């Protein structure tokens, strides 16, 4: 028997509970993993509270990330004792996820634990860090250089934003961190932000084309924030959009794109090929100061995840929430 966080639905209302399960109840898959750590992401919090249409199949074990050790494998690629990390692939949405002590998964979803990271560190990063790395990789591939001007990170005190700030700083960029929490200024400067700005500068409707400010942008917020970021991006600059904390709408015009040649990259970290995943993890391993991970980490036990989820949605938790599923 093992512990798992289980979501059920009754009369369109989501119920979350910590339950005991048997391995025979796990869904189909070629590899069974003893989970050591998971994470509590914004998407997981939406699923647990029933505030977003995240879960597509019921009942569901939430958790879009996990790291642990292979217990059993039906394929030659993986063997018992292998240390692995899994992010995305529909876990916690269509397939039971990582907020449990065991998981059975498709062999194609697994990656070997990236060199230089413990299972705990990999879950401090998890989907948020992986997404941040994909955003930064998009800016670099576009040609945004450290000496090209300031790079804006919105939602900077959140999970993706925190990792993006630290990673960009590690690569030598001048990072401007936007946050609605002025008390987090010292925290963000510790991650490497050169300057802190109030999110109120971006969260209201603005002009469709504004003074050029940003060589590049990592946006985790969407809506007016993304529109204003695009409007103030420099000639031939790039914006990587990966979130919708403010909203899924995009109240903009084509002017930044056709008059300044701005490029908007959409970043989806759920269904990404494994080669790209390895490159993103390698970028994190090479340029992220792991000493900064503790500053951006809150650790909870599996038994605390249900009560903690509303705090994540309310923006009361900075950085990343890692879950020790053994407690």
The pLDDT-based confidence of 80 (bands split at 50, 70, 90) is: very high
CATH 3.40.50.720 fits 127-266, yes or no: yes
pLDDT at 146: 97
Same fold, 2-113+293-324 and 127-266: no
User: Judging by beta carbons within 10 Å of its beta carbon (0-12, 13-18, 19+), is residue 141 exposed, middle or buried?
Assistant: exposed
pLDDT at 226: 98
pLDDT at 12: 85
Looking at per-residue pLDDT, the higher value among 201 and 12 belongs to 201
Please determine, for residue 231, whether its predicted confidence score (pLDDT) is greater than 90.
yes
Give the domain ranges of the chain: 2-113+293-324, 127-266
Please determine, for residue 87, whether its predicted confidence score (pLDDT) is greater than 90.
yes
Fold of 2-113+293-324: Quinone Oxidoreductase; Chain A, domain 1 (3.90.180)
Please determine, for residue 224, whether its predicted confidence score (pLDDT) is greater than 90.
yes
pTM above 0.85, yes or no: yes
SS3 readout for the chain: CEEEEEEEEECCEEEEEEEEECHHHCCCCCEEEEEEEEECCHHHHHHHHCCCCCCCCCCECCCCEEEEEEEEECCCCCCCCCEEEEECCCECCCECCCCECEEEECHHHCEECCCCCCHHHHHHHHHHHHHHHHHHHHHHHHCCCHHHCCEEECCCCCHHHHHHHHHHHHCCCCEEEEECCHHHHHHHHHHCCCEEEEHHHCCCCCCCCCCCCEEEEEECCEHHHHHHHHHCEEEEEEEEECCCCCECCCCCCCHHHHHCCCEEEECCCCCCCHHHHHHHHHHHHHHCCHHHCHHHEEEEEHHHHHHHHHHHHCCCCCCEEEEECCC
Residue 47's nearest CA partner among 309, 268, 249 is: 309
pLDDT at 202: 95
Please determine, for residue 78, whether its predicted confidence score (pLDDT) is greater than 90.
yes
User: Quick one: average pLDDT of 54-68?
Assistant: 96
pLDDT at 16: 96
Please determine, for residue 315, whether its predicted confidence score (pLDDT) is greater than 90.
no
User: Quick one: average pLDDT of 209-220?
Assistant: 97
Q: Give the pLDDT confidence of 161-206 residue by residue, as tens digits.
A: 999 999 999 999 999 999 998 889 999 999 999 999 999 999 999 9
The pLDDT-based confidence of 53 (bands split at 50, 70, 90) is: confident
Residue 166's nearest CA partner among 290, 28, 69 is: 290
The pLDDT-based confidence of 22 (bands split at 50, 70, 90) is: very high
The pLDDT-based confidence of 316 (bands split at 50, 70, 90) is: confident
User: Quick one: average pLDDT of 228-233?
Assistant: 98
* Tokens matching residue 124: 């401090």
Q: Give the pLDDT confidence of 288-313 residue by residue, as tens digits.
A: 998 888 888 999 999 999 999 999 98
């Amino acid at each position: 028997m093992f512990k798992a966080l289980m979501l059920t639905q009754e009369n369109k209302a989501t119920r979350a509970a910590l339950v005991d399960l048997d391995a025979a109840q796990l869904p189909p898959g070629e590899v069974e993993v003893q989970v050591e750590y998971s994470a509590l992401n914004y998407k997981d919090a939406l699923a647990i509270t029933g505030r977003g249409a995240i879960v597509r199949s019921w009942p569901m074990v939430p958790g879009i990330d996990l790291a642990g050790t292979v217990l059993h494998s039906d394929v030659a690629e993986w063997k018992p004792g292998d240390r692995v990390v899994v992010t995305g692939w529909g876990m916690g949405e269509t397939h039971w996820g990582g907020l449990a002590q065991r998981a059975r998964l498709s062999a194609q979803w697994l990656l070997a634990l990236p060199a230089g990271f413990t299972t705990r560190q990999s879950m401090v990063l998890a989907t948020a860090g992986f997404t941040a790395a994909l955003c930064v990789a998009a800016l670099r591939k576009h040609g945004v250089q450290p000496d090209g001007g300031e790079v804006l990170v919105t939602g900077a005190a959140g999970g993706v934003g925190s990792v993006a700030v630290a990673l960009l700083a590690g690569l030598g960029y001048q990072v401007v961190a936007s946050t609605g929490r002025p008390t987090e200024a010292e925290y963000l400067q510790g991650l490497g932000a050169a300057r802190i700005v109030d999110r109120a500068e971006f969260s209201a409707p603005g002009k469709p084309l504004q003074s050029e400010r940003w060589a590049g942008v990592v946006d985790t917020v969407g809506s007016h924030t993304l529109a204003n970021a695009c409007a103030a991006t420099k000639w031939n600059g790039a914006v990587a959009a990966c979130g919708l904390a403010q909203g899924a709408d995009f109240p903009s015009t084509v002017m930044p794109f056709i008059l300044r040649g701005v490029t908007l990259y959409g970043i989806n970290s759920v269904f990404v090929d494994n080669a790209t995943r390895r490159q993103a993890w390698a970028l994190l391993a090479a340029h992220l100061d792991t000493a900064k991970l503790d500053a951006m980490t809150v650790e909870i036990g599996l038994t605390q995840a249900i009560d903690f989820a509303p705090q994540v949605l309310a923006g009361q938790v900075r950085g990343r929430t890692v879950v020790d599923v053994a407690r």
